[in-house]
Structure formats: structure tokens, C-alpha cells
Homo-oligomer: A and B are copies of this chain.
């Protein structure tokens, strides 16, 4: 393996471990030593790739954002073309991703919570992911030609984020059942309104 390939591979590996460590233990409460021990790398190497803990957290949030955008939304867009089905599939796929570790919630919101008023750059980075989710559902509702797509999109996004959150509280993904069903009901209602008009 070439030097630069090795470097990016190592970097990815560190981010992957840090991702799990921060996700499970929180950003403040998890020390860089934990990440080091878990990744099996020395402190010097860690600080070579990531000049500060802040940089590492930033990379972890990027990784999470990509997971949401690529693994969730892009997969859903490829799987079917009907916006209504896409929205419901979003609930199913998010639930599946969360299945193995339902206690973790949303890392973006976790960052937004922990860094609010303390480190605005990282808080904003975390919030950005929540905005992406909101926007995606609004966009899907517009493509589906529902009545009041902005309102409906935000309603579904609220159900979606609420289900992720409550999965953390309940320790399982059962909150996705009523949330997904509610999304369906709201879409039916919005479709009826359009048909009547």
C-alpha cells in the first residue's frame, strides 16, 4: 500500500472508532485516551491526523452526516420513485440502522446539545444534520404534490426525529411503529385535500 493510501485508511479507521466512542459516551465525557485505546494507536499519531480533539469531532460529525445522506437518503431515493413510499421507507431504513444500537439517538442533535453555548462551530455542525433531515422531507412532500408540503414535511420530520429520540429512551426501536403510521395518516389527509381542490 502506498503511503498516502495508508494515511487516508488510517484516518478513516480512527474516525470510525471515534464515531462509536463519542456516540456511546458523549463528546465531553469521552477522552482522547479512550479513542486511542480503542483504535490501538498512539497519541502522537492521533494528533498527527487530527491537530485537536475539535478536529476529530468535526470529522466524526462529517462521517455521521455522510451516513445519513448517503446510506439513508440516497439509498431510499434509489429504491423507489414514489415520494410517499420513499418517506415511509426512510422510517424503515433509519430504524434498521438504529436496530443494533437503539440507545444512541441522533449524533447531530447530541452534538448540538453538548456544544450549545460552549462551542458554536461544533453545535452548528450538529444542527446542520437536523436541517438536512427537515429539508429532505419537505422536498419529498413537494415532489409528492401534497397539500401544504412545507407543513407536512416538517410534521413528518418531527415524527422522524422524535422516533429516533424516543428509541433512545425506550431502549428499542418500537417508537418507530406509531411514528411511521402517523406519517402515513398525515400524508393520506394531505392527499385528500389535494384531490378535493
* Residues of A near any B CB (own CB < 8 A): 24-26, 28-29, 103, 105, 109-110, 112-114, 116-118, 127, 130-131, 134, 151-152, 154-155, 157-163, 165-166, 168-169, 175, 177-179, 181-182, 185-186, 189
- Verify B166–A26 contact, CB threshold 8 A: no
CB distance from A111 to the nearest CB of B (A): 11
Q: With A127-B169, A185-B185, A189-B185 in contact, is A113–B26 under 8 Å at CB?
A: yes
Chain B residues with Cβ below 8 Å from A182 are 155, 158-159, 182, 186
Alpha-carbon distance A169/B166, docked complex (angstroms): 17
Alpha-carbon distance A158/B162, docked complex (angstroms): 5
- Verify A25–B158 contact, CB threshold 8 A: no
Alpha-carbon distance A189/B159, docked complex (angstroms): 17
Chain B residues with Cβ below 8 Å from A105 are 113
Chain B residues with Cβ below 8 Å from A29 are 28, 114, 118
Indicate the member of A130, A161, A163, A177 with the most B CB atoms within 10 Å. Answer: A161
Chain B residues with Cβ below 8 Å from A154 are 175, 178
- Verify A151–B181 contact, CB threshold 8 A: yes
Chain B residues with Cβ below 8 Å from A178 are 151-152, 154-155, 158
- Verify B161–A179 contact, CB threshold 8 A: no
Which of B24, B151, B165, B177 interacts with A165 by CB under 8 Å? B165
Chain B residues with Cβ below 8 Å from A157 are 162, 166
Chain B residues with Cβ below 8 Å from A110 are 113
CB distance from A2 to the nearest CB of B (A): 39
- Verify B116–A166 contact, CB threshold 8 A: no
- Verify B169–A109 contact, CB threshold 8 A: yes
Alpha-carbon distance A161/B170, docked complex (angstroms): 14
CB distance from A69 to the nearest CB of B (A): 17
CB distance from A151 to the nearest CB of B (A): 5
Q: Which residue on chain B has the smallest CB distance to residue A112?
A: B169
